[in-house]
Amino acid sequence: MGLWTERRREPGWVLLPLRLFLGVVFLDAGISKIADKRFLDDASPTSMHANVLAIKGASPIGDLLGPVADHGALFGILLAFAEIAVGLGVLLGVATRLAAVGGMVLSLSLWLTVSWQANPWFTSADVVYLVALTPLAIAGTGGVLSLDGWLANAAVRRPGRGREHTRRTLLTGAVAVLGVAVVGAASLVRRRSVSTAEPDSSGSGTASTGVLAKVSEVPVGGAKQVTDPTSGDPAWVLQLTPGQFTAVDAVCPHQGCPVNFASADAGFICPCHGSTFDSTGKRLSGPAQRNLQAISVAADGTEIRRT
């Protein structure tokens, strides 16, 4: 008990929750980008290319973003792998200070670009990550639950084994880490591709017919959330005027969170960073720079279909 009381005050233990949180956040961010085909597809409205073009004008470093927009897929992959490297470094305690500094550079870049319009400014997650990584850049892991610390201790405990043993241990660790990253990325890709394919593979479902919803499911003056059978995206079907149906893609053009429908008067709000859109999908405020994508629909008897 006495030992634990003493230990829990050590910087390495105090910083452990921060390491776990930031490590998971960066790993998730990187793997999600690789797993999302649309992020690397310049033609997609949620791609790296489209996002850079959208925020370029409002960013204080917008003049530097030309090459990033021109090579969106390349920079998207680099960003994803950099995030994975930061996540692994912080989580496993490998070159933790360097990983934390790298994470700060990424967070600063993202704050000055994609979340520069967040209002108030401190609601930007990127500025929070930037500050939260600072203690790790200063103190590292303190030798607590860290691969670097474990390797150093192993070398001290078994000096006879020397560099060769350390090198082999390091290689084994690196391969294990790589395996975890690849398996995680692959399972995410698989999960997403399966969920996107589901509507098309149903045979009798909405995918083959282009049906978004039944007329009776969409209230007058209200909306129903559906899955767009063509893109696999979440979407909203609305009936603002009796008998007149409209639809919008629910993917926020800022960073891809699904927007929520508030009411016919209040429109849509994005839960991630607060962008708002009217009920036609027109952008009203927030970091998103574009409108929600309209989906052309028409009522066909009892069903609402894409046209």
- Asked if 72 is part of the footprint of ligand FES (rule: CB under 6 A), the reply reads no
Cβ–Cβ < 8 Å for 259, 268: yes
- Kindly tell me which residue out of 139, 257, 262, 264 binds ligand FES, with binding defined by CB under 6 A: 257
Give whole-number Cα distances, 108 to 239, 257, 281, in Å.
42, 21, 30
Q: Tokens for 183?
A: 């398996």
Q: Does 272 bind ligand FES (CB under 6 A)?
A: yes
Shortest spacing between CB 117 and ligand FES, in angstroms: 9
**Cα–Cα distance, 129 to 109 (Å, whole number):** 12
Element (H or E) spanning 139, and its range?
A: helix 125-139
Residues 281-300 that bind ligand FES (CB under 6 A): 286-288
Counting contacts by CB under 6 A, is residue 51 touching ligand FES?
Answer: no
Total residues at interface with ligand FES (CB under 6 A): 12
From 49, 254, 283, 290, residue interacting with ligand FES (rule: CB under 6 A): 254
Contact indicator for 68, 78 with CB cutoff of 8 Å: no
Q: Which is nearer to ligand FES, 273 or 306 (CB)?
A: 273
Beta carbons of 262 and 14 less than 8 angstroms apart: no
Specify the residue for token string 């496993």: 92
Q: Which structure tokens are listed for 74?
A: 């390349």
Nearest to 272 by CA among 83, 118, 121: 118
Q: Which of 273, 290, 305, 306 binds ligand FES (CB under 6 A)?
A: 273
CB of 62 to ligand FES, least distance (A): 18
Minimum gap (Å) between residue 143 Cβ and ligand FES: 38
Residues at the site binding ligand FES, with contacts judged by CB under 6 A? 252, 254-257, 270, 272-273, 275, 286-288
